[in-house]
Each structure stands twice: as structure tokens, then as C-alpha cells.
Structure 1
Amino acid sequence: MLTTCGAVTEDLSDRMFLFPQQSNTAHVKLNIAQKELSVVTLCHRSFTDLKRDHALFSLATSSNNNDFLIFWDGTNKEMAPWIRDTTVKYGGIDYNPNMWHSICTTWDSKSGLVQMWFDGIPSMRKSISSGSSIKGTMMITLGQEQDSHGGGFDIKQSFVGMMSDVHMWDYILSSCQIQKYMDDRQLTPGNVINWNALDFQIVNNVLIEQKLNSCH
């Protein structure tokens, strides 16, 4: 049985979503107003001990299930951003279990250039899906990978762990701004997704917990 909490807008500073077990139902749905994105910066933090495939962020439209997906390919040990149903892969990443990782992904539809920042280290830029922007009603889920618009979840791709500080902008953040995010310093919040004023809905077993801050 699906249990859905109504949509709320909350400041989740110093808090995190906890996905305590694998499932093909539990997820957080993020609500945004935008109907088109031609430039994107997405940043998020996560903590997991999963070794298998799992999704870190999934944006689907009615025309593309993987319109903007951040996916860990556990078999090949590669981080894979999918944009407009096409992917590039980034290997050689120290995606170690049981520690927080900060990931930012930028993409510009005009050039198709995509770049990932992993724990402060920028990847090389690659080209993907140039010339077409993300359009339509956007369904965004944390904790599951969409194989249909808002559904089609696979338990073997579900996320188990903790997730925090999800922000999305409709422009490319400078390298200095991304470094600020990586260092958890003051930053202009996302104007598409803002963790400090997050419009979201929890479906099934996802908890909101205080973020685990180190003691000084």
C-alpha cells in the first residue's frame, strides 16, 4: 500500500532524507514550476553503502524517461549523467561507501557540454544532447529511477541511504560557486529546486532526520 504525505514547502537546512531500505515504492517527489530547462546546474549530497546500481536524481518528462538522471553504474563503477535519454560515463571516481559525497552536474543545451564535479574535483567536459532543451511537465524523484513518467520503479535501482542539500539552477554555476557548495559555505540557493524552501511530497517509507554534523 502506498502512503503519501501531502505536498509541503519546508526549509530543510541541517536536515536530510533517510531512505532506510530498498523498495520499488519509497521516494520523494519534488515539485517545480518550470516547463523548460535549457541550462542546468544540479548539486546534491548523498551517503550510502550500496555497491549496486542506483539513482541519485531522476527527472522525467512524458517524452523522455531519463531527461536528467544522475545514476551510479555499479557494474562498471561509473557515474552516468543521462540527459535527454542519452548518457556519458565518468569512471575513476572515488565513490567510496559510508561517507558523504557532494556531486554537481552542469549542462548547456546549446553546446551540449556536460561536466561533473565530484567532491570538489571537476571532470573533463563531454558533449551530450546538444540543440534540444528539456520540455514539458517534469516529474522529479529522489530515491527511485523512473522508467515511466512518475513511475516504473525498479527495486534494484532504488537508493538506500541519506540525501541532503539538493539544489538546481537554470544557469551554470561558476567553479568558485561550486567550490562553495562543496565546502558547505554560504551559497545562493537554487532557483529551480531550493533545499531551503523545498516543495516536496514523501511517498512511503522515507524519513526526515537531522543531518549528522561533526562535533567541534
Structure 2
Amino acid sequence: MRLSAVLFMIAISVAQSGSVTLKTLVFPSETSNSYVELVPLKPLQLKAFTLCMRVATELSGRREVILFAYRTRDADALNVWRELDGRLSFYLSGDGVLFRVPELGALETHLCVTWDSSSGAAALFMNGRKSLTKIYKKGHTVCKGGRVLVGQDPDSYLGAFDPKQSFIGEIGDINMWDSVLSDSTIQDLVSGKEVPRGNVFDWQTTQLTIRGKVEVINREV
């Protein structure tokens, strides 16, 4: 068999296997100093976004949990939370928008939040299923110049962490776009189909700075 034909058959075999190596962050315990900083591909000056991640935690019903924190020097510009009562929420420099949905648990959940400034439309997706739409912060702009952390909620620019708000569990596949993805694209993302990579965060290439007790696990999906 010619070499080109052998290489072609190998490529077909790899494509059909469909396996992709995905890094995941594991936060094993409550701390006040363990976090991961994500370096964006472009400034987070946003009038719309889709933010997605895969998350699992056993903290259900015990306390509030920070899932994503973008802090500027002046404010919490974009924070995603699991609230004390189990609701999921996100906050843009002030009061937040909350969704009563099935609680996060030990089984991995694919979670996305979407928001558009022109209409104020805010929604949440869990494993591809969309919540109702709420109107939130119409006309607002997410300001650039901050830092993005996973694992802690900074009450100052990069500090003043409260261990009772820290994340415990597994989180990864964090991707962000500066637009609202269609429902079908989010469903494709959940099922592992090819979709345009995040242009704010692309989990395959995003630079991570790890502090404290955080383990990076590589697994095939």
C-alpha cells in the first residue's frame, strides 16, 4: 500500500474515533488562595456575549459558589454564581439576573449564559436546554481592563478572597464569544460537534496561570 494511502487511512481512523483531549480544573478543597487566571484573546469590552463551561460540584444547597469572575479595578464586571438557594445567576456591575433551574451536582453540566445589550435579553442553557428569557441591563457595556479568575471571587482587583465563596469541584471547557450564539450552535457545542472557537476565550489555547491547590486533569471526551 502506498504511503499516502496509509496516512489517509490513519487520518480516517482518528476522525472516526472522535476522541478529543480536554483539560479540566479540579479544586479539591475550600481555600482562600487557590484560583486560575485566564488570559483573554481580546479585551472584554462587550455589548453581547456567550459564556460556556462544563462544571460539577457537590456543594449543592450548602453555600453560594463562584463559577466565573471578571473584576475590574472598580467593580465586579461579570460574575457567574450558584446562589445559596441553588439558583444560577450572573451579575454585570450591580444587581444580577437569577434563574431557577435544576441544581448543579456531581454529574457534569454543560452551562452557558448569554446576554445582548441592545435588547437586554439574558438567558441560560443547561446541557443545551434554554431557560426563559429575562430582560437585564439593556444598553450596558462590559468594560475592559479587568482580570478573569476561576475558583475565587475577588472583592478587590485581585484579592480579598472569601473561602466560603470559593469553588470546590471540577470545571473546564470554558469558552466565550463576543456575540450571542444561536440555540442550535449551543446544542452542537454540547454534543461535541465542530463550532466556531471562542474569540474571547478558546479553551484549547487559553493561557492559564494556576495558583494554590488546583489540579489540571487531561481526559478524553
State the TM-score bracket (shorter-chain normalisation): 0.7 to 0.9
Secondary structure of the structure 2 residue equivalent to 1:135: coil
Distance in 2 of aligned mates of 1:35 and 1:71: 19
Deviation at 1:150, TM superposition (A): 2.1
1:154-191 Cα shifts (integer Å, max 9, x gaps) = 10111111111100000110111100112222222100
Q: Please, what is the CA RMSD of the aligned residues?
A: 1.6
Quick check: 2:44–2:200 contact (8 Å CA) kept in 1? no
Bigger shift: residues 142-151 or 38-47: 142-151
1:42 match: 51
Which residue identity is paired with 1:89?
L
1:63 match: 74
Q: Which runs of 4+ in 1 moved over 4 A?
A: none
Alignment of 1:160 with 2:168, yes or no, is yes
For structure 2, list consecutive stretches of 5 or more residues without a partner in the other structure: 1-19
Secondary structure of the structure 2 residue equivalent to 1:34: coil
Distance in 2 of aligned mates of 1:109 and 1:164: 26
1:192 match: 200
2:97 match: 88
Higher helix fraction (1 or 2) = 2
Alignment of 1:73 with 2:83, yes or no, is yes
2:212 match: 204
Distance in 1 of aligned mates of 2:185 and 2:138: 24
TM-score normalised according to structure 1 size: 0.87
Secondary structure of the structure 2 residue equivalent to 1:179: helix
1:123 match: 131
Secondary structure of the structure 2 residue equivalent to 1:16: strand
Q: 1:173 to 1:35 in 2, by over 3 A?
A: closer
Highest Rg: 1 or 2?
Answer: 2
Deviation at 1:212, TM superposition (A): 6.6
Deviation at 1:13, TM superposition (A): 4.3
1:4 match: none
Indicate the percent of aligned positions where both proteins have the same amino acid: 27
Quick check: 1:35–1:136 contact (8 Å CA) kept in 2? yes
Number of equivalenced pairs: 199
Distance in 2 of aligned mates of 1:136 and 1:182: 29
Structure 2 counterparts to residues 17-28 of structure 1, below 5 A: 17-28=25-36
Quick check: 2:151–2:166 contact (8 Å CA) kept in 1? yes
Deviation at 1:96, TM superposition (A): 4.3
Quick check: 2:21–2:218 contact (8 Å CA) kept in 1? no
Distance in 2 of aligned mates of 1:142 and 1:176: 27
Which residue identity is paired with 2:59?
L
TM-score normalised according to structure 2 size: 0.85
The one of 37, 45, 54 aligned to 2:65: 54
Quick check: 1:55–1:144 contact (8 Å CA) kept in 2? yes
Quick check: 2:127–2:187 contact (8 Å CA) kept in 1? no
Deviation at 1:84, TM superposition (A): 2.3
Deviation at 1:35, TM superposition (A): 4.8
Quick check: 2:21–2:220 contact (8 Å CA) kept in 1? no
